Amino acid sequence: KAIDHLADQAESDSFEIRVLDEFLSSLSKADRALMLLYLDAAPYREAAEITGLTEGALRVPLHRIRRRFEEAYCDRSTTNDI
């Protein structure tokens, strides 16, 4: 039973990686950079320094990108037979 659980988990992880990779590919270079900084758990201050944006200017596009990802992921996960 443990091996079945591991196989199911690997399949699930693979699906999530494919969804994330596809989503990142659909973003502009600037949005992809912001999302990668977010996924890397970079503090807003650090992300602002890297991108040259203010912390406030960073929050709006990050919110929009995260929302688009959630919408895309929820759509995919509810139609996938995992």
- Amino acid at site 19: V
Give the model's pLDDT for residue 29.
95
d(Cα 77, Cα 53) in Å, to the nearest integer? Answer: 33
- Amino acid at site 11: E
Give the model's pLDDT for residue 72.
74
Here the contacts of 11-14 (C-beta below 8 Å, separation 24 or greater) are: 11/82, 12/82
Residue 68 has φ and ψ, to the nearest 5°, of -60, -40
Give the model's pLDDT for residue 17.
84
> In tens digits, what is the pLDDT along the chain, a chain of 82 residues?
665 655 566 677 788 888 889 999 999 999 999 999 999 999 999 999 999 999 999 999 999 999 998 887 776 555 554 4
- Amino acid at site 3: I
